[in-house]
Amino acid sequence: MIARWLGCLSLVSCLAVGAQAQTLQDVTEAAQSGQADAQYALGLRYFQGDEVAEDYAQSAQWFGRASAQGHAAAQNHLGRYHFAGLGVEKDSALGLQLLESAARSGVPDHLFDLAKALGTDDATLPRAAVIFEQAAAAGHVEAAVSLGVLYQDGRGVAQDYARALALYDAPAKAGHPRAMNNLGLMYVRGTGVAQDYERAAAYFSAAIDGGLRTAMTNLGVLYENGFGVPFDEARANELYRLGGGGGEAAAPDAATATVIYDGRLQAVDTSAEGLAAIQTLAQAGDPVARFQLGWALMQTLDASFAEYKQAAAMFQAGAQIGHGPSMANLGVMYFRGQGLPQDYVLGQMWLLKARAAGVTEAAAFSEALSGTMTPTQINESQKRANSRIAAD
Protein backbone atom coordinates (compact mmCIF):
# COMPACT_ATOMS: atom_id res chain seq x y z
CA MET A 1 0.00 0.00 0.00
CA ILE A 2 1.05 3.55 -0.74
CA ALA A 3 0.89 4.84 2.78
CA ARG A 4 2.94 1.97 4.16
CA TRP A 5 5.56 2.33 1.41
CA LEU A 6 5.82 5.99 2.33
CA GLY A 7 6.47 5.25 5.98
CA CYS A 8 9.47 6.50 7.94
CA LEU A 9 12.44 6.46 5.59
CA SER A 10 14.62 4.56 7.97
CA LEU A 11 14.71 3.82 11.66
CA VAL A 12 17.98 5.69 11.92
CA SER A 13 16.65 8.83 10.27
CA CYS A 14 13.47 8.87 12.33
CA LEU A 15 15.34 8.34 15.58
CA ALA A 16 17.82 11.03 14.64
CA VAL A 17 15.10 13.58 14.03
CA GLY A 18 13.30 12.63 17.24
CA ALA A 19 16.48 12.64 19.29
CA GLN A 20 17.14 16.28 18.46
CA ALA A 21 13.85 17.17 20.19
CA GLN A 22 13.74 20.43 18.26
CA THR A 23 10.62 22.55 18.35
CA LEU A 24 8.68 23.11 15.15
CA GLN A 25 9.82 26.74 15.20
CA ASP A 26 13.48 25.71 15.52
CA VAL A 27 13.20 23.27 12.61
CA THR A 28 11.32 25.77 10.45
CA GLU A 29 13.83 28.56 11.06
CA ALA A 30 16.76 26.26 10.32
CA ALA A 31 15.04 24.98 7.16
CA GLN A 32 14.32 28.49 5.96
CA SER A 33 17.97 29.38 6.51
CA GLY A 34 18.93 26.67 4.03
CA GLN A 35 20.08 23.79 6.26
CA ALA A 36 19.45 20.58 4.33
CA ASP A 37 19.00 18.37 7.40
CA ALA A 38 16.41 20.78 8.78
CA GLN A 39 14.61 20.96 5.43
CA TYR A 40 14.43 17.19 5.42
CA ALA A 41 13.22 17.16 9.03
CA LEU A 42 10.51 19.71 8.22
CA GLY A 43 9.46 17.61 5.22
CA LEU A 44 9.06 14.67 7.58
CA ARG A 45 6.95 16.80 9.91
CA TYR A 46 4.50 17.55 7.11
CA PHE A 47 4.55 13.92 6.00
CA GLN A 48 3.82 12.60 9.48
CA GLY A 49 1.45 15.39 10.58
CA ASP A 50 3.79 16.13 13.49
CA GLU A 51 2.67 19.47 15.02
CA VAL A 52 1.42 20.49 11.56
CA ALA A 53 -1.44 19.31 9.39
CA GLU A 54 -0.48 16.32 7.26
CA ASP A 55 0.37 17.80 3.86
CA TYR A 56 2.34 15.87 1.25
CA ALA A 57 2.52 18.91 -1.04
CA GLN A 58 4.30 20.97 1.64
CA SER A 59 6.37 17.94 2.53
CA ALA A 60 7.46 17.58 -1.10
CA GLN A 61 8.54 21.22 -1.25
CA TRP A 62 10.88 20.84 1.73
CA PHE A 63 12.20 17.49 0.53
CA GLY A 64 12.81 19.18 -2.81
CA ARG A 65 14.95 21.90 -1.23
CA ALA A 66 17.01 19.35 0.69
CA SER A 67 17.21 17.09 -2.35
CA ALA A 68 18.68 19.92 -4.42
CA GLN A 69 21.53 20.02 -1.90
CA GLY A 70 22.22 16.31 -2.37
CA HIS A 71 20.44 15.07 0.75
CA ALA A 72 20.01 11.35 0.00
CA ALA A 73 17.09 10.67 2.35
CA ALA A 74 15.19 13.66 0.94
CA GLN A 75 15.90 12.47 -2.61
CA ASN A 76 14.58 9.05 -1.67
CA HIS A 77 11.35 10.33 -0.20
CA LEU A 78 10.79 12.87 -2.98
CA GLY A 79 11.44 10.11 -5.50
CA ARG A 80 8.71 8.02 -3.97
CA TYR A 81 6.34 10.98 -4.04
CA HIS A 82 6.93 11.54 -7.76
CA PHE A 83 6.75 7.82 -8.55
CA ALA A 84 3.37 7.50 -6.80
CA GLY A 85 2.03 10.99 -7.59
CA LEU A 86 1.58 11.98 -3.95
CA GLY A 87 1.80 15.69 -3.19
CA VAL A 88 3.21 16.27 -6.69
CA GLU A 89 2.33 15.41 -10.27
CA LYS A 90 3.03 11.77 -11.02
CA ASP A 91 6.32 11.52 -12.91
CA SER A 92 7.71 8.00 -12.83
CA ALA A 93 10.86 8.93 -14.74
CA LEU A 94 11.74 11.73 -12.33
CA GLY A 95 10.84 9.49 -9.42
CA LEU A 96 13.23 6.80 -10.59
CA GLN A 97 15.94 9.38 -11.21
CA LEU A 98 15.67 10.63 -7.62
CA LEU A 99 15.53 7.09 -6.23
CA GLU A 100 18.65 6.24 -8.23
CA SER A 101 20.45 9.25 -6.76
CA ALA A 102 19.47 8.25 -3.24
CA ALA A 103 20.47 4.62 -3.79
CA ARG A 104 23.98 5.66 -4.73
CA SER A 105 24.46 6.42 -1.03
CA GLY A 106 24.35 2.66 -0.43
CA VAL A 107 21.78 2.98 2.36
CA PRO A 108 19.85 -0.35 2.39
CA ASP A 109 16.46 1.36 2.74
CA HIS A 110 17.18 3.46 -0.33
CA LEU A 111 18.32 0.44 -2.32
CA PHE A 112 15.14 -1.36 -1.33
CA ASP A 113 12.90 1.53 -2.39
CA LEU A 114 14.61 1.75 -5.78
CA ALA A 115 14.25 -1.99 -6.29
CA LYS A 116 10.60 -1.85 -5.27
CA ALA A 117 9.92 0.85 -7.86
CA LEU A 118 11.81 -1.04 -10.56
CA GLY A 119 9.85 -4.16 -9.64
CA THR A 120 6.60 -2.58 -10.83
CA ASP A 121 7.69 -2.96 -14.47
CA ASP A 122 8.44 -6.38 -15.97
CA ALA A 123 11.09 -4.79 -18.17
CA THR A 124 13.13 -3.67 -15.16
CA LEU A 125 12.49 -6.70 -12.95
CA PRO A 126 15.94 -8.23 -13.58
CA ARG A 127 17.62 -5.05 -12.34
CA ALA A 128 15.20 -4.92 -9.40
CA ALA A 129 16.37 -8.41 -8.42
CA VAL A 130 20.02 -7.29 -8.51
CA ILE A 131 19.31 -4.34 -6.24
CA PHE A 132 17.13 -6.39 -3.88
CA GLU A 133 20.16 -8.69 -3.63
CA GLN A 134 22.41 -5.76 -2.68
CA ALA A 135 20.00 -4.55 -0.03
CA ALA A 136 19.49 -8.07 1.33
CA ALA A 137 23.26 -8.57 1.55
CA ALA A 138 23.37 -5.40 3.65
CA GLY A 139 20.85 -6.91 6.07
CA HIS A 140 17.57 -5.50 4.73
CA VAL A 141 14.97 -8.13 5.69
CA GLU A 142 12.16 -6.87 3.44
CA ALA A 143 14.53 -6.92 0.49
CA ALA A 144 15.44 -10.55 1.21
CA VAL A 145 11.77 -11.55 1.32
CA SER A 146 10.97 -9.59 -1.86
CA LEU A 147 13.88 -11.27 -3.64
CA GLY A 148 12.58 -14.62 -2.39
CA VAL A 149 9.23 -13.90 -4.03
CA LEU A 150 10.96 -13.25 -7.37
CA TYR A 151 12.82 -16.57 -7.14
CA GLN A 152 9.66 -18.38 -6.03
CA ASP A 153 7.65 -17.02 -8.97
CA GLY A 154 10.49 -16.94 -11.51
CA ARG A 155 10.02 -13.25 -12.24
CA GLY A 156 13.12 -11.29 -13.25
CA VAL A 157 15.25 -14.31 -12.33
CA ALA A 158 15.23 -18.00 -13.15
CA GLN A 159 12.78 -19.83 -10.89
CA ASP A 160 14.70 -21.34 -8.00
CA TYR A 161 12.72 -22.75 -5.10
CA ALA A 162 15.82 -23.62 -3.09
CA ARG A 163 17.01 -20.03 -3.31
CA ALA A 164 13.57 -18.75 -2.29
CA LEU A 165 13.52 -21.08 0.72
CA ALA A 166 16.96 -19.90 1.78
CA LEU A 167 15.92 -16.26 1.52
CA TYR A 168 12.74 -16.82 3.55
CA ASP A 169 14.41 -18.93 6.24
CA ALA A 170 16.09 -16.30 8.42
CA PRO A 171 13.23 -13.74 8.21
CA ALA A 172 10.68 -16.46 9.04
CA LYS A 173 12.68 -17.59 12.07
CA ALA A 174 12.73 -13.95 13.18
CA GLY A 175 8.92 -13.81 12.90
CA HIS A 176 8.53 -11.99 9.58
CA PRO A 177 4.85 -12.51 8.60
CA ARG A 178 5.26 -12.40 4.80
CA ALA A 179 8.17 -14.84 4.88
CA MET A 180 6.17 -17.27 7.02
CA ASN A 181 3.13 -16.99 4.77
CA ASN A 182 5.21 -17.64 1.66
CA LEU A 183 6.84 -20.66 3.25
CA GLY A 184 3.35 -21.90 4.07
CA LEU A 185 2.38 -21.63 0.42
CA MET A 186 5.46 -23.59 -0.63
CA TYR A 187 4.57 -26.40 1.78
CA VAL A 188 0.96 -26.42 0.55
CA ARG A 189 2.06 -26.71 -3.07
CA GLY A 190 5.07 -28.93 -2.45
CA THR A 191 7.33 -26.60 -4.41
CA GLY A 192 10.96 -27.05 -3.41
CA VAL A 193 9.88 -29.05 -0.36
CA ALA A 194 7.81 -32.12 0.38
CA GLN A 195 4.13 -31.23 0.60
CA ASP A 196 3.23 -30.80 4.28
CA TYR A 197 -0.17 -29.31 5.14
CA GLU A 198 0.39 -29.37 8.89
CA ARG A 199 3.58 -27.39 8.58
CA ALA A 200 1.86 -25.00 6.17
CA ALA A 201 -0.95 -24.45 8.68
CA ALA A 202 1.62 -23.67 11.38
CA TYR A 203 3.30 -21.09 9.15
CA PHE A 204 -0.04 -19.49 8.21
CA SER A 205 -1.07 -19.32 11.88
CA ALA A 206 2.22 -17.69 12.83
CA ALA A 207 1.84 -15.18 9.97
CA ILE A 208 -1.66 -14.34 11.24
CA ASP A 209 -0.24 -13.74 14.70
CA GLY A 210 2.19 -11.36 13.02
CA GLY A 211 -0.69 -9.38 11.51
CA LEU A 212 -0.86 -10.64 7.91
CA ARG A 213 -4.47 -10.88 6.81
CA THR A 214 -3.65 -12.74 3.59
CA ALA A 215 -2.59 -15.69 5.73
CA MET A 216 -6.13 -15.86 7.15
CA THR A 217 -7.50 -16.66 3.71
CA ASN A 218 -4.78 -19.25 3.13
CA LEU A 219 -5.46 -20.93 6.46
CA GLY A 220 -9.18 -20.82 5.70
CA VAL A 221 -8.61 -22.94 2.60
CA LEU A 222 -6.97 -25.59 4.76
CA TYR A 223 -9.87 -25.61 7.24
CA GLU A 224 -12.42 -25.76 4.43
CA ASN A 225 -10.74 -28.89 3.05
CA GLY A 226 -9.44 -30.43 6.27
CA PHE A 227 -5.85 -30.26 5.03
CA GLY A 228 -3.41 -30.32 7.94
CA VAL A 229 -6.15 -29.15 10.31
CA PRO A 230 -9.53 -30.57 11.30
CA PHE A 231 -12.31 -29.92 8.78
CA ASP A 232 -14.15 -26.84 10.08
CA GLU A 233 -16.32 -24.95 7.61
CA ALA A 234 -17.41 -22.37 10.18
CA ARG A 235 -13.79 -21.56 11.03
CA ALA A 236 -12.96 -21.35 7.33
CA ASN A 237 -15.77 -18.88 6.69
CA GLU A 238 -14.66 -16.78 9.66
CA LEU A 239 -11.10 -16.67 8.33
CA TYR A 240 -12.34 -15.75 4.84
CA ARG A 241 -14.35 -12.89 6.31
CA LEU A 242 -11.46 -11.60 8.39
CA GLY A 243 -8.90 -12.04 5.64
CA GLY A 244 -10.98 -10.81 2.74
CA GLY A 245 -9.15 -7.49 2.49
CA GLY A 246 -5.69 -9.04 2.27
CA GLY A 247 -2.60 -7.17 3.41
CA GLU A 248 -1.74 -6.50 7.02
CA ALA A 249 -4.29 -6.41 9.80
CA ALA A 250 -2.25 -4.54 12.39
CA ALA A 251 -4.14 -1.33 11.75
CA PRO A 252 -7.90 -0.79 11.39
CA ASP A 253 -9.48 -0.83 7.97
CA ALA A 254 -12.83 0.22 6.61
CA ALA A 255 -14.42 -3.01 7.81
CA THR A 256 -12.89 -3.26 11.27
CA ALA A 257 -12.48 0.38 12.33
CA THR A 258 -14.89 1.13 15.15
CA VAL A 259 -16.36 4.47 16.09
CA ILE A 260 -14.64 6.05 19.06
CA TYR A 261 -16.08 7.57 22.18
CA ASP A 262 -15.12 10.88 23.76
CA GLY A 263 -13.41 9.88 27.01
CA ARG A 264 -14.20 13.26 28.54
CA LEU A 265 -17.90 12.40 28.65
CA GLN A 266 -19.76 10.19 31.07
CA ALA A 267 -20.64 6.70 29.92
CA VAL A 268 -23.82 6.44 27.85
CA ASP A 269 -26.86 5.09 29.66
CA THR A 270 -27.91 2.42 27.20
CA SER A 271 -31.12 1.46 29.02
CA ALA A 272 -34.37 2.14 27.16
CA GLU A 273 -35.07 5.10 29.43
CA GLY A 274 -31.53 6.45 29.08
CA LEU A 275 -31.56 6.25 25.30
CA ALA A 276 -34.97 7.90 25.15
CA ALA A 277 -33.65 10.79 27.24
CA ILE A 278 -30.61 11.17 24.98
CA GLN A 279 -32.86 11.10 21.92
CA THR A 280 -34.98 13.91 23.35
CA LEU A 281 -31.94 16.04 24.18
CA ALA A 282 -30.40 15.38 20.78
CA GLN A 283 -33.57 16.48 19.00
CA ALA A 284 -33.43 19.67 21.06
CA GLY A 285 -29.94 20.33 19.70
CA ASP A 286 -27.79 19.37 22.68
CA PRO A 287 -24.30 18.70 21.18
CA VAL A 288 -23.26 16.17 23.80
CA ALA A 289 -26.47 14.21 23.40
CA ARG A 290 -26.09 14.25 19.61
CA PHE A 291 -22.64 12.68 19.83
CA GLN A 292 -23.77 10.12 22.40
CA LEU A 293 -26.79 9.19 20.31
CA GLY A 294 -24.64 8.74 17.23
CA TRP A 295 -22.23 6.56 19.18
CA ALA A 296 -25.06 4.48 20.70
CA LEU A 297 -26.67 3.89 17.30
CA MET A 298 -23.37 2.61 15.93
CA GLN A 299 -23.12 0.02 18.71
CA THR A 300 -26.19 -1.76 17.39
CA LEU A 301 -25.46 -4.99 15.56
CA ASP A 302 -26.97 -5.02 12.08
CA ALA A 303 -28.15 -1.43 12.39
CA SER A 304 -30.67 -0.34 9.77
CA PHE A 305 -29.92 2.22 7.08
CA ALA A 306 -32.15 4.69 8.92
CA GLU A 307 -30.11 4.22 12.10
CA TYR A 308 -26.83 4.67 10.22
CA LYS A 309 -28.25 7.77 8.55
CA GLN A 310 -29.25 9.25 11.89
CA ALA A 311 -25.86 8.45 13.41
CA ALA A 312 -24.12 10.12 10.47
CA ALA A 313 -26.30 13.20 10.93
CA MET A 314 -25.40 13.34 14.63
CA PHE A 315 -21.67 13.13 13.90
CA GLN A 316 -22.02 15.63 11.06
CA ALA A 317 -23.52 18.14 13.48
CA GLY A 318 -20.65 17.64 15.91
CA ALA A 319 -18.03 17.78 13.18
CA GLN A 320 -19.34 21.12 11.93
CA ILE A 321 -18.76 22.70 15.35
CA GLY A 322 -15.23 21.29 15.63
CA HIS A 323 -15.79 18.22 17.83
CA GLY A 324 -12.83 15.92 17.10
CA PRO A 325 -14.36 12.51 17.92
CA SER A 326 -17.40 13.37 15.79
CA MET A 327 -15.06 14.22 12.89
CA ALA A 328 -13.24 10.91 13.26
CA ASN A 329 -16.43 8.87 13.39
CA LEU A 330 -17.91 10.73 10.44
CA GLY A 331 -14.74 9.99 8.48
CA VAL A 332 -15.00 6.26 9.18
CA MET A 333 -18.67 6.27 8.14
CA TYR A 334 -17.79 7.94 4.83
CA PHE A 335 -15.20 5.23 4.18
CA ARG A 336 -17.77 2.55 4.92
CA GLY A 337 -20.64 4.25 3.12
CA GLN A 338 -22.85 3.84 6.17
CA GLY A 339 -25.86 6.14 6.20
CA LEU A 340 -24.35 8.34 3.48
CA PRO A 341 -22.69 7.88 0.08
CA GLN A 342 -19.28 6.21 0.27
CA ASP A 343 -16.63 8.87 -0.29
CA TYR A 344 -12.98 8.17 0.50
CA VAL A 345 -11.94 11.78 -0.03
CA LEU A 346 -14.44 13.13 2.49
CA GLY A 347 -13.68 10.26 4.84
CA GLN A 348 -9.97 11.00 4.84
CA MET A 349 -10.60 14.74 5.04
CA TRP A 350 -12.57 14.37 8.27
CA LEU A 351 -10.02 11.96 9.73
CA LEU A 352 -7.23 14.46 9.00
CA LYS A 353 -9.26 17.23 10.63
CA ALA A 354 -9.87 15.01 13.66
CA ARG A 355 -6.17 14.28 13.86
CA ALA A 356 -5.41 18.01 13.76
CA ALA A 357 -7.97 18.46 16.55
CA GLY A 358 -5.96 16.10 18.75
CA VAL A 359 -7.86 12.83 18.32
CA THR A 360 -5.00 10.35 18.53
CA GLU A 361 -7.04 7.39 17.27
CA ALA A 362 -7.72 9.26 14.03
CA ALA A 363 -4.07 8.94 13.01
CA ALA A 364 -4.22 5.12 12.97
CA PHE A 365 -7.52 5.13 11.08
CA SER A 366 -6.19 7.69 8.59
CA GLU A 367 -3.00 5.74 7.88
CA ALA A 368 -4.77 2.41 7.50
CA LEU A 369 -7.70 3.63 5.44
CA SER A 370 -5.51 5.68 3.11
CA GLY A 371 -4.20 2.37 1.77
CA THR A 372 -7.49 1.96 -0.11
CA MET A 373 -7.14 5.36 -1.80
CA THR A 374 -5.51 6.48 -5.02
CA PRO A 375 -2.80 9.18 -4.93
CA THR A 376 -5.26 11.64 -6.47
CA GLN A 377 -7.78 10.97 -3.71
CA ILE A 378 -5.13 11.36 -1.00
CA ASN A 379 -3.93 14.66 -2.47
CA GLU A 380 -7.49 16.00 -2.72
CA SER A 381 -8.39 14.95 0.84
CA GLN A 382 -5.32 16.73 2.22
CA LYS A 383 -6.10 19.82 0.16
CA ARG A 384 -9.66 19.96 1.49
CA ALA A 385 -8.67 19.25 5.08
CA ASN A 386 -5.95 21.90 5.11
CA SER A 387 -8.29 24.42 3.51
CA ARG A 388 -10.87 23.82 6.24
CA ILE A 389 -8.24 23.89 8.99
CA ALA A 390 -6.94 27.22 7.70
CA ALA A 391 -10.47 28.62 7.66
CA ASP A 392 -11.28 27.54 11.23
Chunked in runs of 10, what are the mean pLDDT values of the chain (392 residues)? 44 40 90 97 95 94 98 98 96 98 98 97 97 97 97 96 97 97 96 96 96 92 96 93 58 55 89 91 93 90 84 94 94 91 95 92 86 92 92 82
Q: Where in the chain is the domain with CATH 1.25.40.10?
A: 1-102, 272-391
**Cβ neighbours, 10 Å, residue 126:** 13
pLDDT value for 257? 52
**Cβ neighbours, 10 Å, residue 275:** 16
Between CA 62 and CA 33 the distance in angstroms is 12
User: Which is nearest to 353 in space by CA: 374, 376, 331, 375?
Assistant: 331
DSSP 8-state code for residue 248: B
pLDDT value for 78? 98
Between CA 308 and CA 141 the distance in angstroms is 44
Q: At what angle do helices 360-369 and 344-356 cross, to 10 degrees?
A: 150
Contacts of 156 (CB under 8 A, 6+ apart): 119, 122, 125, 126, 128, 129, 150
Query: How distant is the alpha carbon of residue 179 from its chain centre?
Result: 19
pLDDT value for 22? 85
pLDDT value for 365? 85
List C-alpha distances in Å: 177 to 146, 174, 204, 263, 274: 12, 9, 9, 34, 46
pLDDT value for 247? 47
pLDDT value for 295? 92
Between CA 34 and CA 20 the distance in angstroms is 18
Domain 1-102 listed as CATH 3.30.70.940 = no
Contact, 294 vs 326, CB < 8 A?
yes
pLDDT value for 300? 74
**Helix, strand, coil percentages for the chain (3-state, nearest 5):** 70, 0, 30
pLDDT value for 304? 84
Question: Domain 272-391 has what CATH class?
Answer: mainly alpha
Contact, 344 vs 314, CB < 8 A?
no
Between CA 151 and CA 159 the distance in angstroms is 5
Q: Would you say how long the chain is, in residues?
A: 392
pLDDT value for 301? 64
Query: How distant is the alpha carbon of residue 137 from its chain centre?
Result: 27
Between CA 26 and CA 240 the distance in angstroms is 50
Between CA 345 and CA 329 the distance in angstroms is 14
